Amino acid sequence: MGFQTEKQVVQDLYAALDGAPVDRITDVLADTLSPDALWRGFHPFGACTGPQAIAESFWQPLRQSLTRMQRRQDIFFAGRNEIDGFQGVWVVSMGHLMGLFDQPWLGIAPTGKMAFLRYCEFNRVADGRITETAMYFDIPHLMMQAGLQPFPPQTAAHLVQPGPMTHDGLLFDDAPEEQGRATLAAINAMIGDLGTWQLGLPLEEELARTWHDDMIWWGPAGIGATYTIKRYAKQHSAPFRAAFKERSKTRHIARLAEGAYGGFFGWPNFTALHTGGFMGMPASDKRGEMRVIDIYRRDGDKLAENWIFIDLLHFWNGLGVDILDRMARVPRT
């Protein structure tokens, strides 16, 4: 019960898509996606259906802007979806789309230099076709590479993020099933502790139940990356919890694992009431949506690394702050 068939579908798509001329992208997608394939993307793209809409909305404009694009994968795995009773098979790819930023994209002025778009993609494969996709990408990170500051300075670090420390994240061959079960158990234990932030332990003690002390949290632009439980608690987790109340229950569309890697996504994962300062923004007392992908590396029985994609443009837009519009108004020098 391996995943070679599903993995090959996605690998073949990437090989054809990444090498296709812009005017051939619709045809390439149509060869692999079902006619009614559902694609979910970060703001301002949202959800769209079918190969033509996906190509015209996202892939063609992006490829026209980031010329000579390369897909630089750091993690690739597959698994059965726990959320639907382990029926559906999803294939996950994470890394960067790198190109020369030669034309404007979403109102972001080009630099003519190399640029990296962090991405993570979940593809559901059934009967040899991709029927559903979550394609999440870090637009604020691209803005920062273009010299913009979409958010006030944060406490954690901003950088082009590397892949796993162990350099073993590309699972083109299937991993033993028991390894994936152990990773999914570690992820679920963390989710169970996180819950609605009501475990009752001091934060660092709570985190130590499921995380290694030298954990790395590779957060999105606007929050940043942080290292060790102590610094993660100080630089993200504690400020984040202090800024929100009435967190909803966690909802995922897909959650799976293979080998030492696993992850999930939601649409949204949860909502929460914004009652305190967050990312340098004042409280709004409005309920915001968090659309998130989390990818994890397990080491032993605990989690060691975590790559996070949060649709912060959608979150702030829902609270009345249009970051894209703000950045389009920044004077060019």
Residue 260 has what pLDDT? 98
The closest alpha carbon to 313, from 120, 141, 180, belongs to 141
In a domain, 150, yes or no: no
In a domain, 151, yes or no: no
21 by DSSP, 3-state: which?
A: coil
pLDDT band for position 332 (50/70/90)? low
In a domain, 77, yes or no: yes
Clarify whether residues 64 and 139 are in a common domain: yes
Q: Which amino acid does the sequence have at 34?
A: S
CATH of the domain at 83: 3.10.450.50
Clarify whether residues 281 and 221 are in a common domain: yes
In a domain, 169, yes or no: no
Comparing 200 with 302, the larger pLDDT belongs to: 302
In a domain, 168, yes or no: no
Q: Which residues span the domain enclosing 123?
A: 4-145
Clarify whether residues 137 and 267 are in a common domain: no
Where are the extended beta strands (E) located within 44-88?
46-49, 66-80
The last residue of a domain, from among 101, 124, 145: 145
Sheet hosting strand 270-274, strand order edge to edge: 244-245, 270-274, 286-290
In a domain, 259, yes or no: yes
What confidence tens digit (pLDDT) does each residue in 69-98 have?
Answer: 999 999 999 999 999 999 999 999 999 999
The pTM score is: 0.96
Clarify whether residues 188 and 323 are in a common domain: yes
Residue 206 has what pLDDT? 93
In a domain, 167, yes or no: no
Residue 310 has what pLDDT? 97
The last residue of a domain, from among 123, 145, 167: 145
Separation between Cα atoms, residue 120 and residue 143, nearest integer Å: 18
Taking residues 232-249, what's their average pLDDT? 92
The last residue of a domain, from among 105, 128, 145: 145
Total structural domains within the chain? 2
Clarify whether residues 36 and 133 are in a common domain: yes
The pLDDT mean for the chain works out to 95
Q: What separation in angstroms does the CA of 77 have from each of 123, 168, 197, 227, 297?
A: 11, 11, 30, 25, 12
